[in-house]
């Protein structure tokens, strides 16, 4: 059975005495069975109870007999059980949040504070105007005979100003924001986040927190089903000191995936740095560090070298060291020492397990295994020619192909004498086997730390293991120091968001400067893609490369498609002379184990020992007594087992990959670059969690890993020490590992809990293993409350992830796997973890920018419009008279400016998706709240005030006071009409032309509808408006159609006013962008360069490739490549015609060869062309410098390399 969201099966067995007496329903009714169970609690990993059968026998109940709610039953058709917990008392429900909080975006709180500020501003403006009225009344109103008895009390005046200015408080902001967010939710349906294999698109279940996706600073991720597929794959093997890479499944995946076009980055010659070729649609996997030519003895690996193994023979490519080559070598040289040792090792893999072979309907053999590790090992043995054909009670039939894969198979029967099973205390398992030749052999496999002590030469094994660990520690320290120095350099740079390429903005630069700019960006990007160059150095190393990233579907280990090698290559494949050197074999094997573990692979060490009959019989007797003991049976079995598991010979080592989902390491790398910290919260054991942390690059090669374990160390002391080291800056990269039991202890101590949380905030990553759902939610809630400005995201796929998904600011569910409860309860659901990149870095950031621009745009347009009202009050005695006609005023937000700000909030994109994915550092704009803050609000408010003054005083000075005296042309309605028109045109122009970077036809449509709609409204109003509508204050009827609309002066002043505002806006924006450029300003300019844009697209190809494949639109670099290719072909054709059209002179040389030369050349280098099929050179020879041009361009069958 497996809990929802898990694919790793757990064996459950009934209590055998109960099963015997309750085999049927009738037996259950006829027997008296009494169960006593513990009270409901949260612990998923422990259960205590007992059962009494017929009032006599009392038996214990443990977790092995319990099936939890939410589990999936597998490999068993049906079971009979008794329900012991129901409803909210079930463990899965007790671990869930009983009252999940209502989620709201953090941006909303900031907006609410600004709205309160605007409320204060409105009241202050009303008070100021009221006071101004008081002084005006004293100076003007009281002395004006025509205003006798027209005085108004201050109360009504203050109220009228409140009513006039209250619309500056944008109630429409919240209404239109919902429209914007709903539209954003539909735009999340991106083809790049569609999983074709499971037919699962992204699904958004809320639109409330769209902008939160652009501000995430912490990600809490489940492991199984989220980061990993929980599919174990046999990946590497070390035998007789030689390591081999097992890539059959990788090549099968490649064959299924097909030959997709790869985007190769153009090599550029960069001064001081060597440009490299990149494959952008997949992360280029590094050749394995565990290679055919292995570690030499006594090599000092200190210093700055990023290496783990020293090659004994340079030039042997890791890509040839495949297990298929090993099998072919064994078949070609079956009697060599290496062949005998390799066959024995493969046989031990096929024998040392508890798997049961089964044959399906198609005749294929499958296996039922207690763990996915054993299944991976047995499957690998089958692929390598040792097929477990049949298992009986005490025999195992192995089918092998000693004479070759195409020769008849040979079946051998092995008698399984005893099986000493694996346990968490022993960390190993053994089988005693009687071989077909009647010899008895013990095969043992287990953790290398345990098994090395059981070897015959355990002292040598421990010595080599310590030596290798010491070298690895020195190497990691050197890498860590390099990273610390690099981080210090970057921290010293005072950049706005991150360290950009060291280059200045360019207005007019030469071609050489442009190339320098491109190369600088290329180097800058590659430096971050390769972890400041460390991965590049490892890539260039002749003897090491971490993690092959096989989960990508393409691995550099499988670059060769040839299935055979030349005989000479097989001669050098294995060094037989060194196979018999035990010291070298031990060092190589333990070096390989170190490499395997560093790569995040799960390692096992194998040993064997032959026994004589007497030794076996004596041990068998003791083992039988231990198995039948009634007291301390398990302890006695383990003790007797240790007696036979001694003096073992080293057989070899294996490495199993917990297969990650596609693109997980690359996604984690980019999330790390985006300043997002990733925590892995899992219910798995510690070793498994750390291995996955290595393979997914959560744990770096140079990381300082601190394990908090209440049983083995002082937790508080470890916390204090690591906190001090991080504060001092002596730790390059830190990872904190804590288990559920230790976390429970930390939760109960308030002081320790605070110290733990402070450390967890400082470290780069946290791995929590054996964590219950309640503990996952506790960690998420603690960070959410402890780090006030943080936005947390929780992602998982099972029922045990629901609590943390509900607790986080943003909850993401993984669909398409076994569990769906998490997806149903989440805010957004995706099919694969790697889709987080596009969701956060692109859509999340866009939605944040859109929400911020929408909010700022709304505040700005309200300020701009109503400040013109405030300016007009000086000219009406601060009596509260409106400059604008009431019907038009009421429609300002609804009809004439709503589309501009709504479409700004829906469609604006400040940067392209390729740029955001290639440069994840740009994501920190949301984390820094740089899209909306008080500083920005005040800046936009200042611009609104300045532009309101430009509009009003230009209108009043040119139209209302200076040029015209015709009352019909410049009355209050005409002035208001001009000011209103200018505001509508300016607002739509700024929000849809100046503020939108990705301008499309939609911007034009919005401007036409809004601006055209305003003038259409005036036409309608001019016809339909009656005197009663405006109560005689505004002369609307017929005004626009018959008077103002026919005035050339009106349109001229409108044009001048709008142009003045646009020029002012453009000038301020240009000055700000040049004097105080932001990251967005710089990268928007970079995007204008085609070569730089191509580089960004190639860096983001893995995330965007699916959209390119399915869409008709090609990437810019593809279009350019096609154009360049066509132009190059055309140029070549012209050159060929010119060269062929030149007159030539043929002369014989003294050696019987022919030289050809053009007539205008008297001398030149000779090019000799020999005529095939003759004993001498051809009769004709040509001499020409032009022929070198032909050869250099590679025409015909002759290439540049043929020149002598």
| 797 annotated binding-site participant | yes
Burial class (CB in 10 A: 0-12, 13-18, 19+), 880: buried
Neighbours of 846 (CB within 10 A): 25
243 with 652: CB under 8 angstroms? no
DSSP-based three-state secondary structure for 382: helix
Is residue 1150 part of an annotated ligand binding site?
Answer: no
Q: Report the b/e string of 190-207 with b at 16+ CB within 10 A.
A: bbbbbbeeeebbbbbeeb
Calculate the alpha carbon distances from 658 to 225, 244, 690 in Å: 11, 18, 11
Was 998 annotated as part of a binding site?
no
Give the rounded distance of the alpha carbon of 132 from its chain centre. Answer: 60
222 is an active site residue = yes
Any known ligand binding at 776?
yes
Per the DSSP assignment, residues forming a β-bridge with 397 are 390, 413
Q: CA 454, CA 647: separation in Å to the nearest integer?
A: 6
Radius of gyration of the chain (CA): 39
- Give CA–CA dist 1166/1156, Å, rounded: 8
Query: Has 620 been labeled as part of a binding site?
Result: no
Residues 6 or more apart in contact with residue 602 via CB below 8 angstroms: 232, 373, 655, 656, 657, 658, 687, 688, 691
Element (H, E) at 923: none
Q: Is 445 annotated as a binding residue?
A: yes
Can you tell me the distance from the alpha carbon of 311 to that of 133, in angstroms, rounded to the nearest whole number? 92
Is 222 known to sit in a ligand binding site? Answer: yes
**374 annotated among ligand-binding-site residues:** yes
278, HSE (Cβ side, Cα atoms, 13 Å): 27
CB 229 within 8 A of CB 661: yes
Q: Find the largest Cα–Cα distance for the chain.
A: 134
CB 472 within 8 A of CB 705: no
Q: Within a 10 A sphere around the Cβ of 13, how many other Cβ atoms?
A: 8
Alpha-carbon distance of 740 to 738, in angstroms, equals 7
User: What angle, 0 to 180 degrees and rounded to 10, lies between the N-to-C axes of helices 582-598 and 686-695?
Assistant: 80
Q: What stretch of H or E contains 238? A: strand 228-239
CA distances from 865 to 120, 943, 980, 1063 (A): 18, 12, 8, 19
1039 is in an annotated binding site: no
Active-site entry in 222, 373, 910, 1079: 222
Annotated ligand binding at 682? The verdict is yes
696 sits in which H/E element: none
CB 1170 within 8 A of CB 1155: no
CA distance 1039 to 1035: 7
Bridge partner residues of 444 (DSSP):
430, 607
Of the CA atoms within 13 Å of residue 57, those in its CB half-sphere come to: 10
1065 is in an annotated binding site: no
397 is in an annotated binding site: no
Q: Say how far apart CA 367 and CA 371 lie, in whole Å.
A: 11
Q: Which two tokens stand for residue 203?
A: 């699904």
Q: Are 854 and 902 in contact (CB under 8 A)?
A: yes
Least Cα distance to 374 among 719, 11, 656, 176 occurs for: 656
DSSP string, 411-439: EEEEEEEEEE---TTT-EEEEEEE-TTS-
Q: Quote the DSSP letter at residue 146.
A: G
Cα 21 to chain centroid, rounded:
54
Reduce the secondary structure of 557-590 to three states and give it as a string.
Answer: HHCCCCCCCCHHHHHHHCCHHHHCCHHHHHHHHH
3-state secondary structure of 1048: helix
HSE, side-chain direction, 13 A CA sphere, residue 6: 19
Q: How far is CA 922 from the centre of its chain?
A: 15
Q: Is 373 annotated as a binding residue?
A: no
Q: Which active-site residues does the annotation give?
A: 222
Residues tagged in the binding site annotation: 222-224, 374, 422, 445, 602, 682-684, 770, 776, 797, 800-801
Query: Which positions make up the binding site for ATP?
Result: 222-224, 374, 422, 445, 602, 682-684, 770, 776, 800-801
- Binding-site residue set for Mg(2+): 222, 224, 797, 801
């Amino acid at each position: 059975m497996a809990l929802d969201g898990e694919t790793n099966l757990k064996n459950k067995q009934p209590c055998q005495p109960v099963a015997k007496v309750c085999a049927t329903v009738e037996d259950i009714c006829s027997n008296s069975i009494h169960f006593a169970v513990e009270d409901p609690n949260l612990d998923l990993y422990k259960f205590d109870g007992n059962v009494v059968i017929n009032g006599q026998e009392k038996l214990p109940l443990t977790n092995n007999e319990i099936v939890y709610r939410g589990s999936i039953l597998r490999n068993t058709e049906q079971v009979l059980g008794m329900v012991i917990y129901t409803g909210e008392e079930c463990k899965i429900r007790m671990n869930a949040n009983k009252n999940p909080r209502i989620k709201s975006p953090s941006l909303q709180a900031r907006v609410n504070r600004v709205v309160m500020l605007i409320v204060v501003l409105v009241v202050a403006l009303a008070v100021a105007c009221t006071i101004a009225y008081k002084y005006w009344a004293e100076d003007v109103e009281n002395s004006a005979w025509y205003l006798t008895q027209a005085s108004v009390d201050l109360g009504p005046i203050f109220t009228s100003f409140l009513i006039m200015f209250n619309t500056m408080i944008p109630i429409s902001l919240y209404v239109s924001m919902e429209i914007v967010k709903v539209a954003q939710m539909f735009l999340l349906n991106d083809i790049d986040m569609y999983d074709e294999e499971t037919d699962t698109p992204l699904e958004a279940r809320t639109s409330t927190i769209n902008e939160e996706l652009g501000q995430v600073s912490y990600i809490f991720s489940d492991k199984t089903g989220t980061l990993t597929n929980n599919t174990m794959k046999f990946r590497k093997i070390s035998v007789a000191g030689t390591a081999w890479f097992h890539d059959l499944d990788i090549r099968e995946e490649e064959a299924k995936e097909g030959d997709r076009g790869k985007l190769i980055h153009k090599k550029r010659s960069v001064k001081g740095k060597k440009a490299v070729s990149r494959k952008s649609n997949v992360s280029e996997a590094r050749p394995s560090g565990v290679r055919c030519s292995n570690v030499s003895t006594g090599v000092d690996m200190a210093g700055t070298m990023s290496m783990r193994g020293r090659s004994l023979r340079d030039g042997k490519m890791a890509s040839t060291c495949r297990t298929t080559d090993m099998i072919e070598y064994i078949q070609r040289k079956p009697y060599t020492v290496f062949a005998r040792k390799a066959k024995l090792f493969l046989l031990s893999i096929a024998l040392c397990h508890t798997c049961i072979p089964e044959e399906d309907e198609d005749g294929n053999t499958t296996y039922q295994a207690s763990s996915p590790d054993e299944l991976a090992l047995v499957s690998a043995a089958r692929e390598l020619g040792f097929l477990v054909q049949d298992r009986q009670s005490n025999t195992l039939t192995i089918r092998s192909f000693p004479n070759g894969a195409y020769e008849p198979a040979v079946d051998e029967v092995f008698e399984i004498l005893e099986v000493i099973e694996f346990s968490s205390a022993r960390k190993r398992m053994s089988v005693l086997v009687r071989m077909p030749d009647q010899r008895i052999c013990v095969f043992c496999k287990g953790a290398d730390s345990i098994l090395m002590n059981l070897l015959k030469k355990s002292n040598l094994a421990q010595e080599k293991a310590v030596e290798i660990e010491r070298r690895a520690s020195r190497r990691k320290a050197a890498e860590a120091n390099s990273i610390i120095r690099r981080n210090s350099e970057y921290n010293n740079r005072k950049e706005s968001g991150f360290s950009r390429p060291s280059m200045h903005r360019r207005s007019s630069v030469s071609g050489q400067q442009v190339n320098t700019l491109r190369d600088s960006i290329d180097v800058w990007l590659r430096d971050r893609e390769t972890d400041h160059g460390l991965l590049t150095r490892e890539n260039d190393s002749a003897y090491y490369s971490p993690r092959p990233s096989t989960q990508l579907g393409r691995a550099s280990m499988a670059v060769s498609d040839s299935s055979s090698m030349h005989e000479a290559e097989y001669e050098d494949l294995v060094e037989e002379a060194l196979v018999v050197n035990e010291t070298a074999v031990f060092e190589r094997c333990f070096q390989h184990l170190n490499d395997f573990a560093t790569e995040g692979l799960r390692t096992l060490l194998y040993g064997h020992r032959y026994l004589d009959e007497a030794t076996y019989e004596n041990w068998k007797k003791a083992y039988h007594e231990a198995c039948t003991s009634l007291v301390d049976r398990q302890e006695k079995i383990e003790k007797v087992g240790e007696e036979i598991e001694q003096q073992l010979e080293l057989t070899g080592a294996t490495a199993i990959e917990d297969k990650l989902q596609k693109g997980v390491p690359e996604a984690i790398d980019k999330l790390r670059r985006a300043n997002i910290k990733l925590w892995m919260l899992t219910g798995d054991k510690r070793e498994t969690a750390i291995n996955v942390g290595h393979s997914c690059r959560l744990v770096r090669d140079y990381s300082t890993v601190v394990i908090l374990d209440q049983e083995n160390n002082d937790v508080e002391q470890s916390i204090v020490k690591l906190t001090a080291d991080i504060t001092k800056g002596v730790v390059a990269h830190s990872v904190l590992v804590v288990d559920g039991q230790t976390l429970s202890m930390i939760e109960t101590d308030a002081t320790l809990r605070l110290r733990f949380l402070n450390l967890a905030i400082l470290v780069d990553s946290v791995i929590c293993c054996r964590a219950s759902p309640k503990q996952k939610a506790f960690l998420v809630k603690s960070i959410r409350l402890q780090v006030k400005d943080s936005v947390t995201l929780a992602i998982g796929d099972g029922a045990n992830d629901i609590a943390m998904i509900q607790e986080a600011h943003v909850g993401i569910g993984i669909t398409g796997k076994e569990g769906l409860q998490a997806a149903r309860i989440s805010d957004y659901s995706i099919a694969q973890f790697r889709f987080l990149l596009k969701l956060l870095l692109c859509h999340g950031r866009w939605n944040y920018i859109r929400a911020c621009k929408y909010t700022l745009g709304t505040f700005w347009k309200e300020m701009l419009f109503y400040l013109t009202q405030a300016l007009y009050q000086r000219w009406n005695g601060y009596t509260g008279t409106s400059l604008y006609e009431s019907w038009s005023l009421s429609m300002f937000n609804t009809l004439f400016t709503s589309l501009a700000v709504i479409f700004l909030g829906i469609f604006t994109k400040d940067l392209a998706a390729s740029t955001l994915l290639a440069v994840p550092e740009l994501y920190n704009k949301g984390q820094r709240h740089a899209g909306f803050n008080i500083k920005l609000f005040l800046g936009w408010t200042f611009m609104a005030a300045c532009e309101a003054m430009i509009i009003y005083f230009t209108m009043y000075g040119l139209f209302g006071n200076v040029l015209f005296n015709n009352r019909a042309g410049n009355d209050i309605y005409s002035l208001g009409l001009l000011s209103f028109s200018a505001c509508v045109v300016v607002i739509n122009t700024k929000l849809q032309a100046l503020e939108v970077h990705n301008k499309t036809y939609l911007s034009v449509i919005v401007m036409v509808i809004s601006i055209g709609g305003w003038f259409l409204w005036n036409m309608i109003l001019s016809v339909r408006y009656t005197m009663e509508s405006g109560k005689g204050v505004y002369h609307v009827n017929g005004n626009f159609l018959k008077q103002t609309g026919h005035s050339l002066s009106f349109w001229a002043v409108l044009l001048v006013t709008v142009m003045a505002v646009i020029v002012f806006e453009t000038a301020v924006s240009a000055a700000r962008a040049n004097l105080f450029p932001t990251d967005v300003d710089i990268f928007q300019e970079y995007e204008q360069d085609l070569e730089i844009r191509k580089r960004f697209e190639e860096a983001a190809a893995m995330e965007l490739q699916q959209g390119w494949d399915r869409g008709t639109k090609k990437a810019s670099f593809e279009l350019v490549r096609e154009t360049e290719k066509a132009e190059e072909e055309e140029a070549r054709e012209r050159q060929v015609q010119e060269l062929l059209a030149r007159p030539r002179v043929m002369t014989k040389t003294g050696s019987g060869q022919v030289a050809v030369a053009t007539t205008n050349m008297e001398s030149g280098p000779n090019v000799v062309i020999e005529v095939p099929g003759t004993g001498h050179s051809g009769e004709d020879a040509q001499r020409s410098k032009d022929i070198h041009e032909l050869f250099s361009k590679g025409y015909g069958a002759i290439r540049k390399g043929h020149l002598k």
